[in-house]
Chain A
Amino acid sequence: MDYFQLFLELAQSTVRLSTPLILAALAGLFTERAGVFDIGLEGKMLGGAFAAGCVAFVAQSAMAGLLAAVVVSVLLSLVHGFASITQRGNQIVSGVAINFIVAGSTVILGEAWFRQGGRTPALAEGARFQVIQLPFAEELRGVPLLGPIYADLISGHQALTYLAFLMVPASWWILYRTRFGLRLRAVGENPGAVDTAGISVIWMRYRAVICCGILCGIAGAYLSLAANAGWTKGMTAGKGYIALAALIFAKWKPVPVMFACLLFGFLDAFAIRYQSTPLPLIGKVPVQLMQALPYILTVILLAGFIGKAIPPRAGGVPYVKER
C-alpha cells in the first residue's frame, strides 16, 4: 500500500505540473501547424501570469484575472504575428524579443505598482482558482484501488487543469474535423495551395496565432492563480521551452503532446519528491542534478530518440506571393 500511496502522490503532482505544459504546447501546436514558429510561448505565459496576478488582486476575482491573462497574451501574439506574418520578419528573433520584453517589463511594472520586490501581492482564496471535488469523491474513497484513484488523482484539481486535459481532444477535433483545422494545417504545409484555393493565407495565420495567445494566457493564469497565489518574477522558469520541446517530441500532434507533457511533468514531480531523499542503490543525489533531469532528458530525446520529427513544411517561412 505504501507504493500505491507513493504512486498516487507522484501521479497527482505530475498532473498538476503538466497542466501549464499541456496548455502551452497546444498553443504552440496551433501556430506551428499554421507555419508560424513561436519560441515566445515562455514570454506569453509569463505576461499572462503577470496580468492575471495583477488583475485578480485588484478585482479580487480569479475569472477577471484569467480574462486579463488571455487579453495580454493575445496582444503579445498579435505582435509576433505582425512581425512574422505581415512584416515577414524572422520568427525566431521576434519570439525571443517577446520573451525578453516580457521578462523585463513585468518586473519593472510589478515593482512600480506593488513594491513587493518582484512579486504581485499574495492572493486571497477567493481570487484564486479553487480545487474542485468531483461528486462522491469522499464517499468512494473506501472502494479498494479505484476509490483512491478517483478521489485523489481524478478529483481534486483546479478547473484549469480539467480544461487543459479537455483541450487535448478538443484540439484534435478542431484540427482534424473542422474546416478551420483543415485550412490551418494546409497553410502550414503549402500556403500556395491555400492561396490558390481562394483562402487568405494571412488571415488564416493570424487566427492561428490568436488561438496560441488564448491558450498561453490560460497557461499563465494557471501558474499565478492556481499553482501559486500570485505572480513572482520569472515564474515560468523555462516551461515555455519545455512545452516547445514536448511539441517537437510529439511531432506536432495533439494526443502525443499530452503524453510528452505528462512525461516532463512526471520528471519534474519526481525531482521535487526525491530531491532530498536518498535513492536505493545510488544514495543521495544532488538536488541540482534532480532538477536538471527534465532538461537532460529533453536533450537526449531531441537528439535522436524520437525518430525524425518532420516540422510543418512551410514552418518559419513567411508567405510571399509575388515573385
Chain B
Amino acid sequence: MGELAIELKGIDKSFGLVHANKDINLKVRKGTIHGIIGENGAGKSTLMSILYGFYQADRGEILVDGRAIDIRDPNTAITAGIGMVHQHFMLVENFTVLENVMLGAEESWILNAGISKARAELKRLEREYALDVNPDAVIEELPVGLQQRVEILKALYRKADILILDEPTGVLTPAEADHLFRILEQLKAQGKTIILITHKLREIMAITDEVSVMRRGEMVATRETAKTSVEELAELMVGRRVLLRVEKGEAHPGDVKLSVKNLTVRDSRGVTMVDDVSFELRAGEIVGIAGVAGNGQSELLEAISGIRRAVSGNVHLGGEAIDVTGHADPAELRRRGLAHVPEDRHHVGLVLKFEESENAILGYHDDPKYRKGFVLDIDAIRADAEANIQKYDIRPPNARLKTANFSGGNQQKIVLAREMERDPDVLIIGQPTRGVDVGAIEFIHKRIIEMRDQGKAVLLVSVELDEIRALSDRILVMFAGRVVGERKPDASEGDLGLLMAGVEGPKEAAE
C-alpha cells in the first residue's frame, strides 16, 4: 500500500428524509486513479461534494495526506489541493477561458497583473498535459469537450494534486472521452491522484487502478481493478435486492398499438440521447425499458408523449402517425388514447400547490363533463376525484387538500388514477414507484398488471431493475441512447446488468 491521498471515515449525510451517504469509509492511494461506481442516486456525487466542501457532512472525518481537515467550504478544499470537475460545469458561459480559469485565483485586485501570469501558466499546462484551449475563446462558443478541459485547467491552475471528476464522460463523444482518458493517464504519470465518478463499468475497467462501489448511499466494496471483473462490479452495483413478487398470469399480446421506428432525439445541447430506436408495443403486454438512468429513457418517453420534439423517426399510435418531429400535441395524444405518467411527478406530473381534485383533472380539464357553461363544474370534478380517492386508496381521503401535503406514494397514485381512469389504449409510465413506500408499490404494480389484463398496451420505464423484471413481458435494455438488447423477464440479473453497462457480450468483457 502506498501513501493515502484521501481517507474518509464514517461520512454521513442526509438531505431531509433522504439518507444520501451512510457511514462511508474510503481510502484513495496517492498517484492512482480511483474509480467510484454506482447507479444514479447511489450517493457518489454527494460524497464528492462533501469532499470538495460544497456540502458539509453531518458526521465523519476527512483526512488529506494523512492530516485531518475540516473542509467547510470549497476554499478549504482548494487550499488542501483538491480540485473538482463538476458534472454540470461550473463555468461562467459568457466569460473567456482565461477569465474562468482566473476566477477566484486572481493574484491581485487589479486583473492585469494576474492575466499575463495566468496566460503563461496556461501555456505551461497546455504543454505538459496536452490540454490545448484558446485562452481568449468565450466558453459558450466552445464544444462541451473543451469546456470540460477548461474545468480541468481550472483545477490544475489552483495547483490541485487530487482531482475529482464527476461523471466526466456523460456529455462527451467517444473520441472526446478517449482524449480525456489520455489526459488523465498523463496527470497520473505526473503524480496526481484522480477520483473518477461514473456509472459506466467500461470506463472503470479501462482506466482505474482501484474501484469502490456505492449502492443506495452505502460503500459496499473496494476492489483492485485488475483483480475484479465487469460481472462482479455489475452485481455489486445493482445488488441482490429482495425480489418483488407480483402475481401475474400469461400475457396475451394482441394488435400493435404503438410502433416506434428509427426514433432519434437530441437534447438542448445537441447531444444525441435517443439513437435510432425502434420497437413495437402490443395490446395486452407490458414492455419494460431497463437501463441506468441517463441513457435516453427519459427522452424516449418525452418524445413519444409529445413533450419533446424528435429529430427523426416515425411513431404510430393505433396505426395512425404521430407527428413526433413536428407538433405532436400532448392534449391531442391524450384524446387519441395515449396516457402518460411522467417520470418526474413533481415538475411534470403535478402542480404541487393545487388541490388534489385540481390535479386529478390536469390535462383533461377540457373534458365536457367537467364544464358548466364557461366555468369548471367544481362539483363534478370533486365527485370524480373522490371516486378515485376511494378506488386508489389515496390517503388522506381529502380532495381539497393541497397536493404537496400528500406523501410521495399518494401523489403518485393521484397521477396514476388520473391517467389510468381515462381508459387509454396505450399507457406510458415512467418510474412508477420512485420515492414510493413499499405498501404503495404493491398496489401500483397490481394496477399496472390489471391494465395489461384489460388489454392495454403498457410501456414501462424504470431504473429499478427488479421492478422491470417483475412487471414486464419483454425487456428492452437501453444504453447510450440505443436499444442494445431484448430479453425475457427471466433473464439473469448479471446478463441484464452487463447490457445496462454497455458491455455487449461476455467476449468483450473478457478483454
List residues of chain A with CB under 8 Å of any chain B CB: 176-183, 185-186, 189-190, 192-199, 313, 321-323
Contact = CB atoms under 8 A, between A and B. Distances in A.
Contacts of A196: 52, 54, 74, 84, 86, 90
Contact of A182 (B52, B73, B91, B106): B106
A197 B104 contact: yes
Contact of A189 (B55, B93, B106, B108): B93
Contacts of B77: 198
Contacts of A178: 109-111
A186 B95 contact: yes
Given A178-B109, A189-B93, A195 B102 contact: no
B90 A193 contact: yes
B92 interface: yes
A322 B100 CA distance: 23
B374 interface: no
Contacts of A182: 99, 102-103, 106, 111
B104 A199 contact: yes
Nearest to B84: A196
Chain A to chain B: the 5 pairs with minimum beta-carbon distance, closest first: A197-B104, A198-B75, A179-B106, A193-B90, A196-B90
A192 B102 CA distance: 15
27 contacts: A176-B111, A177-B110, A178-B110, A179-B106, A179-B114, A180-B109, A181-B111, A182-B99, A182-B106, A182-B111, A185-B92, A185-B95, A189-B93, A190-B90, A190-B91, A190-B92, A192-B90, A193-B90, A193-B91, A193-B92, A194-B103, A194-B104, A195-B90, A197-B74, A197-B78, A198-B78, A322-B55
A193 B111 contact: no
Contact of A190 (B93, B108, B110): B93
B112 interface: yes
A194 B154 CA distance: 12
A100 B109 CA distance: 38
Contacts of A186: 92, 95, 99, 103
Contacts of A195: 54, 74, 90
Contacts of A323: 15
A195 to B, nearest CB: 7
A192 B100 CA distance: 12
Contacts of A190: 90-93
B94 interface: yes
B84 to A, nearest CB: 7
B105 interface: yes
Given A182-B106, A196-B90, A197-B74, 5 more contacts: A177-B111, A178-B110, A185-B95, A190-B93, A313-B94
Contact of A197 (B105, B108, B112): B105
Interface in B43-91: 52, 54-55, 73-75, 77-78, 84, 86, 88, 90-91
Nearest to B115: A177
Q: Which of A179, A196, A313 has the most CB of B within 10 A?
A: A196
Interface in B105-148: 105-106, 108-112, 114
B103 A197 contact: yes
B111 A179 contact: yes
A88 to B, nearest CB: 17
Nearest to A323: B15
Contacts of B110: 177-179
A179 B54 contact: no
A18 to B, nearest CB: 29
Interface in B269-320: none
Contacts of A321: 54-55
A181 B112 CA distance: 12
A182 B104 CA distance: 9
Interface in B144-186: 154
Contact of A322 (B15, B84, B105): B15
Contacts of A313: 93-94
B92 A198 contact: no
A322 B88 CA distance: 15
Contacts of A199: 75, 103-104
Nearest to B105: A197
A313 B95 CA distance: 12
B107 to A, nearest CB: 8
Contacts of B154: 197
Nearest to A195: B74
Nearest to B75: A198
Q: Which of B54, B75, B102, B104 has the most CB of A within 10 A?
A: B104
A179 B106 CA distance: 6
Nearest to A180: B109
A56 to B, nearest CB: 34
A322 B111 CA distance: 31
Given A177-B111, A179-B109, A194-B104, A189 B75 contact: no
A189 B112 CA distance: 22
A321 B46 CA distance: 12
A198 to B, nearest CB: 3
Nearest to A177: B111
A177 B99 CA distance: 11
Nearest to B15: A323
A200 to B, nearest CB: 8
B132 to A, nearest CB: 22
Nearest to A314: B92
A189 B94 CA distance: 8
A183 B102 CA distance: 10
Nearest to A183: B103
Nearest to A312: B94
Nearest to A190: B92
Contacts of B55: 321-322
Given A193-B103, A195-B74, A196-B84, A179 B93 contact: no
A198 B15 contact: no
A89 to B, nearest CB: 18
Nearest to B18: A323
Nearest to A192: B90
A180 to B, nearest CB: 7
A185 B95 CA distance: 9
A281 to B, nearest CB: 46
A198 B79 CA distance: 10
B178 to A, nearest CB: 27
Contacts of B75: 198-199
A193 B112 CA distance: 21
Nearest to B86: A196
Interface string B21-62: 000000000000000000000000000000010110000000
B73 A198 contact: yes
A199 B78 CA distance: 11
Contacts of B88: 192
Interface string B221-233: 0000000000000
B382 to A, nearest CB: 32
Contacts of A181: 111
Contacts of B103: 182-183, 186, 193-194, 197, 199
A246 to B, nearest CB: 22
Contacts of A177: 110-112
A313 B104 CA distance: 19
A322 B20 CA distance: 13
Contacts of B92: 185-186, 189-190, 193
A195 B93 CA distance: 15
Contacts of B52: 196
A192 B93 CA distance: 12
Q: Which of B15, B52, B94, B102 has the most CB of A within 10 A?
A: B94
Contacts of B93: 189-190, 313
